[in-house]
């Protein structure tokens, strides 16, 4: 049972199969979700802007490719640009950097998850979706240690059960869910007490 608590932000990490999964999730989020959503999708440089634009056209919630030092707003989905790690800090702004790749990828979900966990503490929801490798697992541990809520996609609905498996094996995932349930879980958790 996931505890009912106030959530101030959502972070999502995905790789192989992620664009399809995100196309299932983001367009079905309500325009008044009441918080920012930060997404790391492993994608080459130059492809994330078009991806964000396509999602924005099909979504009720605003979707943008994140820009460095951009002010973070509620009811907006920020897609990390290819080639840059995306982090958040206590100044309520997006911070992009070209630090070395982690797990062979940049952007890396771990960078986002850990930085967001340091800012939002127990008021963060972290989700690991389909993908190869183990990016996001360390971030999930950090989110849980700081009192946040963690979800991972189930094996049957994943294109590749790598990242969610690594996250699950940390023992820090609150709930394993099929792709079809992700939107409902986000809405249920984010509309819990304290709103």
* All structural domains of the chain: 9-190 (3.40.50.180)
pTM above 0.85, yes or no: yes
Query: Tell me, what's the pLDDT at 5?
Result: 80
Query: Tell me, what's the pLDDT at 126?
Result: 98
State how far the Cα of 103 lies from the Cα of 84, in Å rounded to an integer: 14
State how far the Cα of 93 lies from the Cα of 186, in Å rounded to an integer: 23
Query: Tell me, what's the pLDDT at 194?
Result: 43
CA distances from 92 to 9, 55, 69, 107 (A): 12, 24, 9, 19
| pLDDT tens, N- to C-terminus, the chain (195 residues) | 676 689 999 999 999 999 999 999 999 999 999 999 999 999 999 999 999 999 999 999 999 999 999 999 999 999 999 999 999 999 999 999 999 999 999 999 999 999 999 999 999 999 999 999 999 999 999 999 999 999 999 999 999 999 999 999 999 999 999 999 999 999 999 886 443
Query: Tell me, what's the pLDDT at 192?
Result: 63
Write out the catalytic residue numbers: 15, 42, 135
Beta bridge partners of 176: 152
Query: Tell me, what's the pLDDT at 49?
Result: 97
How many C-beta atoms surround the C-beta of residue 45 within 10 A? 11
Query: Tell me, what's the pLDDT at 190?
Result: 87
């Amino acid at each position: 049972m996931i505890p009912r608590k106030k959530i101030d932000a959502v972070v999502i990490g995905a790789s192989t199969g992620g664009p399809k999964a995100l196309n299932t999730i983001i367009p079905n989020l309500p325009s008044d979700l009441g918080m920012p959503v930060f997404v790391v999708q492993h994608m080459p440089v130059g492809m994330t802007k078009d991806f964000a634009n396509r999602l924005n056209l099909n979504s009720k919630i605003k979707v943008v490719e994140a820009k460095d030092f951009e002010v973070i707003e509620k009811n907006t989905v920020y897609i990390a640009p290819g080639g840059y790690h995306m982090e958040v800090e206590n100044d309520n702004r997006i911070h992009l950097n070209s630090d070395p790749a982690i797990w062979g990828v940049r952007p890396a979900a771990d960078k986002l998850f850990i930085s967001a966990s340091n800012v939002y503490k127990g008021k963060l929801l972290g989700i690991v979706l389909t993908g190869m490798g183990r990016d996001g697992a360390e971030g999930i541990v950090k989110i849980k240690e700081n009192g946040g809520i963690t979800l991972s996609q189930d094996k049957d609905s994943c294109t590749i059960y790598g990242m969610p498996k690594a996250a699950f094996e940390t023992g820090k995932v609150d709930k394993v869910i099929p792709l079809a349930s992700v939107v409902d879980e986000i809405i249920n958790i984010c509309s819990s007490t304290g709103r």
